[in-house]
């Protein structure tokens, strides 16, 4: 463990509004706890920032001391980039302000805000922007990696709705990045992760959504899954863009609308959200109800904020998680066969494989318009291995890797950077495809010493 001198710590405490936690402090263990329990790192210091001035001080402290630097927003990143060993963690989790301008349809969001924080404020005015599917996820990390969710078929990726951002760079400057100012940096942060600085404020475009939407779940037994997936891929191109229908294969949770004897049995679930007129919801989801004979279904009008929290119980913090992911243009027969074999051998009751349906508006943006380049993706497939006991690590990780390999021949070869685990640094170029070299050039300009490297790292090609 690196020891930071007490005089340096005292000096830092004197110039910040936030808090400094050191190993042994009463709040240190709680402050280093993040969503994925597989990540167990020991920082030398955690600086819980109260504002931009603290962020600038923290960046300068890390840069001048030569210590590793990690940035924590929501702490949800699967690879644990929010923590580092023997370095400094800038904890932004208390910077949670969300300010909505309903007339301009703009949201100004600090980096510690969660999806729930954002939705709570925006939905008070019947407004939203595309975000993820778990309300405890941090807005910052989700956005910087691209971001998609139930609204993406209609309104694009999260980064397609980013108007501007305030960024503290490696040299401590606070820059406004937008199409009119530092446009190269603005381009890079729209998918390039935390490689270029610390975003202290996001400005998003908002769209009329809700407050009521139509959606829910249709649950089929696994023996109907192959036929259902074939019908799903056939129906998907004609689905309205206001509808997003995701396919999830897992063991059935104890949902009240499912017969008790089906709980814990393998199923395929179609999870749907329709954001058009609520009265049109039943007709919009009608095709999905013909994919098979359901074990049960729960469909109807609901508040958008409720739907955004529907999957939180399955994604609660404290479990051990390991992901493997592919981007897909289609779901073909060979992939379905490999999928069903994997679901037949689930290593824990919490494991699942899902196909997140995007496409539509996400595909209409040019590949070079943002750092996020995977515009040919129609389904983002994630192999989500999840369990509680560390003794099951090898079995659960091996299961995810085995299906990932079996699915590879049917995938596009690209990957969504937010789904990459900590050992997948070799896939960074795959995540950015034709945009990778341009990202390196931006890295060279704004972070040539690679201060911001505790991420899916885009390494500079120059050193200064």
Q: Helix axis angle, 52-65 relative to 6-14, nearest 10°?
A: 160
Specify whether 164 is located in the same domain as 220.
no
Q: For residues 8-33, give the mean pLDDT.
A: 94
Q: What is the pLDDT of residue 458?
A: 97
Specify whether 177 is located in the same domain as 253.
no
Residues contacting residue 40 through CB under 8 Å, at least 6 positions apart: none
pLDDT tens for residues 52-102?
999 999 999 999 999 999 999 999 999 999 999 999 999 999 999 999 999
Mark out the alpha helices in 66-106 (DSSP H runs).
none
When divided into structural domains, the chain yields a total of 3
What is the rounded CA–CA span in Å between residue 213 and residue 229? 25
Confidence class for position 6, pLDDT limits 50, 70, 90: confident
- The tokens describing 416, both together, are 């969504």
Q: For residues 121-140, give the mean pLDDT.
A: 97
Specify whether 395 is located in the same domain as 318.
yes
Q: What is the pLDDT of residue 5?
A: 82
Q: Is residue 163 part of a domain?
A: yes
Q: For residues 1-29, give the mean pLDDT.
A: 89
Q: What is the pLDDT of residue 223?
A: 97
Q: Is residue 461 part of a domain?
A: no
> What's the pTM?
0.97
Reply yes or no on whether the pLDDT at 402 is more than 60: yes
- 3-class secondary-structure state, position 438: helix
Reply yes or no on whether the pLDDT at 35 is more than 90: yes
Largest interatomic CA distance in the chain: 69
Q: What is the pLDDT of residue 111?
A: 98
Q: Is residue 429 part of a domain?
A: no
Mark out the alpha helices in 198-257 (DSSP H runs).
225-235
Q: What is the pLDDT of residue 188?
A: 98
Residues contacting residue 250 through CB under 8 Å, at least 6 positions apart: 266, 267, 269, 343, 346, 350, 351, 352, 353
Specify whether 20 is located in the same domain as 115.
no
Q: What is the pLDDT of residue 462?
A: 79
Q: What angle do CA 23, 25, 26 make, to 5 degrees?
A: 130
Residues contacting residue 123 through CB under 8 Å, at least 6 positions apart: 209, 210, 211, 303, 304, 305
Q: What is the pLDDT of residue 3?
A: 66
Specify whether 116 is located in the same domain as 202.
yes
Q: What is the pLDDT of residue 463?
A: 66
Specify whether 84 is located in the same domain as 192.
no
**If residue 357 lies in a helix (H) or strand (E), which one and from where to where?**
strand 352-357
Phi, psi of 272 (to 5 degrees): -135, 145
Confidence class for position 2, pLDDT limits 50, 70, 90: low
Enclosing domain of residue 55 = 15-91
Do the Cβ atoms of 380 and 416 come closer than 8 Å?
yes
Among 37, 72, 91, which residue terminates a domain?
91
Reply yes or no on whether the pLDDT at 464 is more than 60: no
Q: Is residue 464 part of a domain?
A: no
Task: Please give the distance of CA 4 from its chain centroid, rounded to a whole number.
Answer: 33
Average pLDDT, the chain: 97
Residue 150 is part of a domain; what is its CATH number? 3.30.465.10
**Which residues on adjacent β-strands are paired with residue 202?**
109, 165
Confidence class for position 108, pLDDT limits 50, 70, 90: very high
Specify whether 175 is located in the same domain as 229.
no
The b-or-e profile of 282-307 (16+ CB within 10 A means b, else e) is eebbebbeebbebbbbbbeebebbeb
Q: For residues 265-274, give the mean pLDDT.
A: 98
What is the rounded CA–CA span in Å between residue 207 and residue 160? 12
Specify whether 166 is located in the same domain as 255.
no
- The tokens describing 220, both together, are 């089929």
Residue 252 is part of a domain; what is its CATH number? 3.40.462.20
pLDDT tens for residues 296-346?
999 999 999 999 999 999 999 999 999 999 999 999 999 999 999 999 999
Confidence class for position 36, pLDDT limits 50, 70, 90: very high
> Of the candidates 10, 30, 23, which has an alpha carbon nearest to the alpha carbon of residue 317?
30
Give the strands of the sheet with 45-48, arranged side by side. 19-21, 45-48, 88-91, 69-72
Reply yes or no on whether the pLDDT at 127 is more than 90: yes
Specify whether 83 is located in the same domain as 109.
no
């Amino acid at each position: 463990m690196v020891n930071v001198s007490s005089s340096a710590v005292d000096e830092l405490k004197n110039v910040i509004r936030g808090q400094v936690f050191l190993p042994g402090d009463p709040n240190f263990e709680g402050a280093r706890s993040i969503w994925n329990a597989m990540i167990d790192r020991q920082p030398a210091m955690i600086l819980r920032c109260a504002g931009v001035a603290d962020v600038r001080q923290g960046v300068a402290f890390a840069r001048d001391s030569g210590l590793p630097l990690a940035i924590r927003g929501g702490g949800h990143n699967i690879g644990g980039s929010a923590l580092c060993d023997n370095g400094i963690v800038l904890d932004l989790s208390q910077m949670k302000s969300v300010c909505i301008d309903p007339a301009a349809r703009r949201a100004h969001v600090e980096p510690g805000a969660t999806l729930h924080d954002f939705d709570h404020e925006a939905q008070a005015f019947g407004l939203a922007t595309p975000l993820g599917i778990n309300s405890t996820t941090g807005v910052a990390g989700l956005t910087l990696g691209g971001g998609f969710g139930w609204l993406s078929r209609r309104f694009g990726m999260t980064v397609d709705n980013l108007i501007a951002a305030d960024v503290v760079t490696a040299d401590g400057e606070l820059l406004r990045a937008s199409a009119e100012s530092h446009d190269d940096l603005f381009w890079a942060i729209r998918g390039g992760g935390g490689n270029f600085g610390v975003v202290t404020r996001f400005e998003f475009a908002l769209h009329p959504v809700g407050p009521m939407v139509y959606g829910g779940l249709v649950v089929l037994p696994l023996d109907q899954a192959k036929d259902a997936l074939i019908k799903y891929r056939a129906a998907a191109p004609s689905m309205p863009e206001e509808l997003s229908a995701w396919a999830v294969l897992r063991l059935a949770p104890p949902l009240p609308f499912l017969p008790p004897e089906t709980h814990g049995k393998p199923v395929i679930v179609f999870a749907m959200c329709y954001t058009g007129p609520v009265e049109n919801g039943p007709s919009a989801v009608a095709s999905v109800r013909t994919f098979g004979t359901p074990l049960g279904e729960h469909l109807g009008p609901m508040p958008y904020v409720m739907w955004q929290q529907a999957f939180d119980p399955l994604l609660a913090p404290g479990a051990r998680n390991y992901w493997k992911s592919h981007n897909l243009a289609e779901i073909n027969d060979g992939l379905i066969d490999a999928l069903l074999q994997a679901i037949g051998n689930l290593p824990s009751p919490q494991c699942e494989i899902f196909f997140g349906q995007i496409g539509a508006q996400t595909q209409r943006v040019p590949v070079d318009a943002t750092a996020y380049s995977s515009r040919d993706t129609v389904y983002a497939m994630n192999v989500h291995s999840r369990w509680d006991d560390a003794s099951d690590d090898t079995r659960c990780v091996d299961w995810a890797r085995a299906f990932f390999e079996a699915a590879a021949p049917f995938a596009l070869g690209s990957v969504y950077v937010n789904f990459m685990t900590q050992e997948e640094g070799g896939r960074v170029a795959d995540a950015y495809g034709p945009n990778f070299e341009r990202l390196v050039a931006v890295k060279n300009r704004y972070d040539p010493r690679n201060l911001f490297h505790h991420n899916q790292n885009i390494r500079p090609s120059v050193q200064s």
